[in-house]
Amino acid sequence: MFEVFYGLSGSGKTTFLKTLPKHFENVRVVSFPKKSRLIDLPQFIINTYVPGESNARIVLVERRDNPSQTDLDFLSETFAELLETFRDTRGSALVLWPVTRENSAQAIAEEAWTTGRDSMTDTQSKGLYFFTGLTKDRFYPVADTTTRNLTGDGLDAFGVTSDVAVNLLSGVETIADFFNAVDLYAETQREKTWSVLKTKVRARLWVLLPGDVPSAIRSTVLSLTQGSRNRVDIDLVAEFIDQPDEKAPIYISDWKARRPAMAHLLRAIDLRLFELLPNVSLAAIRSLGDVNIRSKLNQQTMKLEDAKSTMRASKLYKEILVELGISTTPFSNAIKDVEDTSNEYRRIQAMASKGDKSLNKAVGLLIEECLKDDAPHIVVASEKKSLPNCELKPDICLQIEELDYICLEPTWRSTDKGIPGEIDGGQNTLAASHMKKYLLDKAMQYVKALDL
């Protein structure tokens, strides 16, 4: 059987036809190539016959949405041969030809009907099917799902909320038109954001999570991030904002006021969350930490080269190199929970309640020592230093370019375990619920400081 598949350009005709096997069992779609002459279509059908096959075969006349005059000149001869092919057992197939122009679609369908009538086409359609594509109410969810599959983020991360989509829908006819409108709007929003950052500073907010138990740290980080780049899961933290709470902290109220732009803002500041396992934290303290901190440890020193190797194996450092365009080996998080290591971390974490400046400085200094070898042009500030044109003072900052910084904000936490006879246990501050609050509070500080 033959059918012209008529629809507007961008309505999704070819996409729909090529994905039929994903929605229906026992269907095989083969494409008749554009480079072949139309007159070769009947022989192509014979050649793609599979003896004993039970699947229904659909032959897609591809990339001829606007048929050339040559194709139209050979219609009569092609359909005459095609009629004979359909009468052959090897010619059992449904031939679909997507066409964009209505006059061409009607001409092709009329020729098919004239040539073979019900032996060639369906008696009701007479060879012409009108494909309307998705209804407009489906444009946004489909575009949102597509964007999530491609980037990990929904449309709201690009400034395109459902309310914005309502305005965009009024000027489009097809899903392709909508994607174009979304792309243009998103680019406009991006330009507005970057115009602010160009006059201020681009401050990428990377939160570090040092802790005592590797498995607990990984569990929290994995539950709050998405993908391999450790970007914070926007949908998850948004749920926290959307909870009704009349006594919500100020930062929650601030986020509620900015709720439509929340996803876009969090991506604009590149909010990420990285684990900092206890062996990495301890390597920094033992090699470059203050003597007052090291004195609390059972093992107080570590060779700098060994400490640098430990830092280089961390996910944080590998991601820094990726951001700088430097290739690195894949990350492995095979570090196991070791009680002695956890206890050593607890000894230094107990001091964080009195101030974590010296702890942060040690981590920053170790990163700086590694970058001296791997990227000596990067400037690292390991103490609170004001960024240009704003009031931000990151704990650790890496200057990538003149107004481009990676800002590292460690938050030293632990589980509820202590060290018997030495340090009492307490609240499990490593829990994801605690980290959500910290992430949103810190992110709001950055948004306000950058006037976003």
pLDDT tens string 408-424: 999 999 999 888 888 88
Q: Which residues pair with 410 in a beta bridge?
A: 208
Percent residues over pLDDT 70 in the chain: 99
Cα dist from 408 to 77, 211, 262, 367, whole Å: 71, 16, 21, 11
CB 396 within 8 A of CB 364: yes
**330-348 residue pLDDT tens:** 887 778 889 999 999 999 9
Checking if the pLDDT of 248 tops 80, the result is: no
230/224 Cα distance (integer angstroms): 9
Which residue ranges make up each domain of the chain? 2-130, 136-197, 200-449
DSSP string, 2-47: EEEEE--TTSSHHHHHHTHHHHSTTEEEEEE-TTS-GGGHHHHHHH
Categorize the per-residue pLDDT at 329 as very low, low, confident or very high, splitting at 50, 70 and 90: confident
Least confident range from 12-16, 55-59, 441-445: namely 12-16
pLDDT for 289: 92
User: How many whole angstroms separate alpha carbon 254 and alpha carbon 67?
Assistant: 56
Task: Please state the pTM of the whole predicted model.
Answer: 0.77
- Per residue in 132-159, pLDDT (tens digit) is 888 888 989 988 988 888 888 888 888 8
Q: Give the pLDDT band (50/70/90) at residue 311.
A: very high
Q: Mean pLDDT for the chain?
A: 89
Statement: 2-130 belongs to CATH 2.60.120: no
